[in-house]
Structure 1
Amino acid sequence: MWGRVAAGGDGDSGGGLYMVFMVFAVIGAGMALRFSPTLTGVLANIRPEGAADASDVLVTSPNSAG
């Protein structure tokens, strides 16, 4: 049943595909609104001695999105 809905199997041509696109767009916007300010706040006051820790933040943050 879910495969038919996702493929627009209810007689609508591409309605399910449109919904999938909209879900991905909302998820992407949410990630952009979350990670950009977080990274800016974390990296704003990094001293040269803490550069290795800052690198870890840059690598780990996108991975926490799933």
Structure 2
Amino acid sequence: MLTAPAGFIPEMILKIDDTEEIHSLTSDDAFVKSIQHFQQCINDETTRQNNYKTINKQAELVNQFIEKV
């Protein structure tokens, strides 16, 4: 799984007309969150089934993209 490195602080650029504002967002430990979500999928059938549906939809969209390229 690809995640941002620990301590990474993402930035958001807000563009309004000709003005740009750069805002720092809070750091997030995406790897730990992914492990926690995986654990939820193991322990909870509803979460697991919802995750399966999401993964299948992503795969379907990737396949549609590949067919058009």
Q: TM-score, normalised by structure 1?
A: 0.38
In proportion to residue count, which structure has more helix?
A: 1
In proportion to residue count, which structure has more strand?
A: 2
